[in-house]
Amino acid sequence: MTQARAGGHGGHDKRRVLCVTSNYPRWEGDSTTPFVQHLAQDLLALGWEVDVLAPHAPSAASREQLNGISVDRFHYLWPERLETVCYQGGALLNLQKNKLNYLKLPALVFFQWTAIVKRLLSGHYDLLHSHWILPQGFTGVLAARPFNLPHVVTVHGSDAFALKGELLSKFKAFSLMGADAVTVNSSATRQQVLAIAPELTALSLIPMGIALNQPNPDRVAQLRQQFRGDQGPLLIYVGRLVEQKGIGDLLRAVALLSQTLTDCRLLILGEGPWRDALVSLADRLGISQRVSFIGWVEPSDVPNYLAAADIFVGPSKQMPDGSTEAQGLSFIEAMQAGTPVIATDVGGIGDTVKHEETGLLVPQDDPGAIAGSVLRLLSEPQLADKLIFQAKQATKHYTREATAVQFAQLFDAMLHHKSHRS
C-alpha cells in the first residue's frame, strides 16, 4: 500500500500531522485535561496543520472545529452511551472502576485502527503522532507502516508505569520499537520505557509545558480574603481526586497542623471519584470547617487560586500496580505562580521539584513529614523566598511554547530524514 500523495511539504505549504489520542476535550469548557489540545494548538501556531482523531463519547460531536483544531471522534460502540472506556479521568481509571470496560477494548482498538487507516488513505498527512503507548501507539504502528509514514509515539506515564503483565508488556514493546521516534515527559518515564524496550534508541525527553498565565492581583486578593484565615496558612491542592494523588495524607497533615495553627486552611481544586470519601475523611478528622472542596475551576482561574495560597502540597503516591505521577504539571503551575511547593519524591516530580532548591520533597504516605515541611516554610521565610525565586526560574524551561518547538523540531527532523531516504 502506498500513499495517495507523496508526503513531505513539497506538495503543500503546511506540514500536516494526524494526532491520535484517547483523551481530548469533548466540548468547549470540558474538564478533560487539555495538554494534548494545547500541544495541537501550539503546533498550529508554529505552522503545522493538525487534525485530531479521538474516541467518541456520549453527547460529544462526531466532528467539529474546537479552538482552531479539526477534531474527528470515531464511534466504537452503539448505542453511544456504551462508549465509556475513555475520558472522565482517563481510560486506565475507567478500566479500574468498571471491569466491563475491558470487554469494550477490542472494539475501541479495531475502530481506532480503521479510523486511522481511512484518514491516511487520503494522502493528506505527513506524519502520525500517537499519544499514549496503548492503544494509540499500537494502532498507529499497524496503520502507519504500510504507508511508510513517520510515526511518533508520546508516552505520558500512566501507559508506561501501569498496565503490567507479560502480554501487555509485549504489546507495549512492539508499539515502542515499531515507532520511528518515542518521546517521554520525564526522566522517570524514560527509565520505565527503557525497562519495557531496552533496545529503544529513538527516544527524546520532551516535558509537557504550561501556559504562562499571570495571576490577576485583584482576583488573588479576593480569593485570599474569601478563603484564608487571619493567621494562615492557606494550603492548596490542584488535581484529580483519586487515590494515587495522596490527598488523604494531606487531610491528615492538616489535622496535625490544626493542633498548633488555629487558622490553617486547605483548598482542594479538582474532581474525581474519591471526592465523597475525602469529604467523609475530613469530617472524621474534625477539619471539615478548614477544608474547602472547590471542584473544577476554569484553567484561566487556577493561577489566581495558586497565587492566593501560601503553600502548594502535592502528596502523590506510587501505587502497587506501579502507576505514579509521571510529570505533574500542577507542580510547575504552582512554581510559576510563586507559591512554595511541597511534594512527594515519586515518579517524575523530582525533575522539577528539587529538594531545598525549587521546593521541599517528602516521603509518600507521611502526613507528619508534610506537616513538618509546612511548619518549616512558615518559620523560615528566607528559605521560602529562595524556593519561590529558583522555582520561577526553573519554570522557564516548561512553557507550552518550548514544548511545541521541541516537538516541531523532532517532526521536521523526521520528515527531513524521510525525504533523504526516498
Q: What is the secondary structure of 360-393 as a DSSP string?
A: EEE-TT-HHHHHHHHHHHHH-HHHHHHHHHHHHH
Alpha carbon distance 100, 47 (integer Å): 42
pTM for the model: 0.92
DSSP 8-state symbol, 99? G
Alpha carbon distance 341, 306 (integer Å): 10
pLDDT(2) > 60: no
The predicted pLDDT at position 380 comes to: 98
Phi, psi of 56, deg, nearest 5? -75, 160
If you average pLDDT over residues 182-196, what whole number do you get?
Answer: 97
26-66 pLDDT per residue, tens: 999 888 889 999 999 999 999 999 999 999 999 999 999 99
Alpha carbon distance 244, 229 (integer Å): 29
Which of the pair, 322 or 280, is modelled with greater confidence?
280
Question: pLDDT class for 420, splitting at 50, 70, 90?
Answer: low
Alpha carbon distance 208, 64 (integer Å): 25
Q: Please, where in the chain does CATH 3.40.50.2000 lie?
A: 15-209+399-421, 217-397
Residue pointed to by grid coordinates 469548557: 29
The candidate with the shortest Cα–Cα distance to 368, out of 268, 256, 233, is 256
Is the bond preceding 273 in cis, omega lying within 30 degrees of 0? no
Judge whether 404 and 43 are in contact, CB under 8 Å.
yes
C-alpha cell at position 15 = 506540514
Class of domain 217-397: alpha beta
- The residues that bridge with 156 in the sheet, in sequence order, are none
Judge whether 142 and 109 are in contact, CB under 8 Å.
no
65-92 pLDDT per residue, tens: 998 899 999 999 999 999 999 998 889 8
The predicted pLDDT at position 322 comes to: 85
The predicted pLDDT at position 179 comes to: 98
pLDDT(10) > 60: no
Beginning with the edge strand found earlier in the chain, give each strand of the sheet holding 234-238 in spatial order: 291-295, 265-269, 234-238, 311-314, 341-344, 360-362
Q: How many CB atoms lie within 10 A of CB 320?
A: 6
| Beta-strand relationship, 311-314 and 341-344 | parallel
Alpha carbon distance 263, 288 (integer Å): 13
* Arithmetic mean of pLDDT over the chain: 94
355-381 pLDDT per residue, tens: 999 999 999 999 999 999 999 999 999
pLDDT-above-90 percentage for the chain:
86
Question: What 3-state class would DSSP assign to 263?
Answer: coil
Residue type, 37: Q
Give the total residue count for the chain: 422
The predicted pLDDT at position 422 comes to: 58
Judge whether 38 and 134 are in contact, CB under 8 Å.
no
C-alpha cell at position 210 = 504550561
Alpha carbon distance 262, 242 (integer Å): 28
C-alpha cell at position 422 = 526516498
Question: pLDDT class for 1, splitting at 50, 70, 90?
Answer: very low
Contacts with 168 (C-beta within 8 Å, 6 or more apart), sequence order: 134
pLDDT(226) > 60: yes
Assign domain 15-209+399-421 to its CATH superfamily.
Glycogen Phosphorylase B; (3.40.50.2000)
Question: pLDDT class for 296, splitting at 50, 70, 90?
Answer: very high
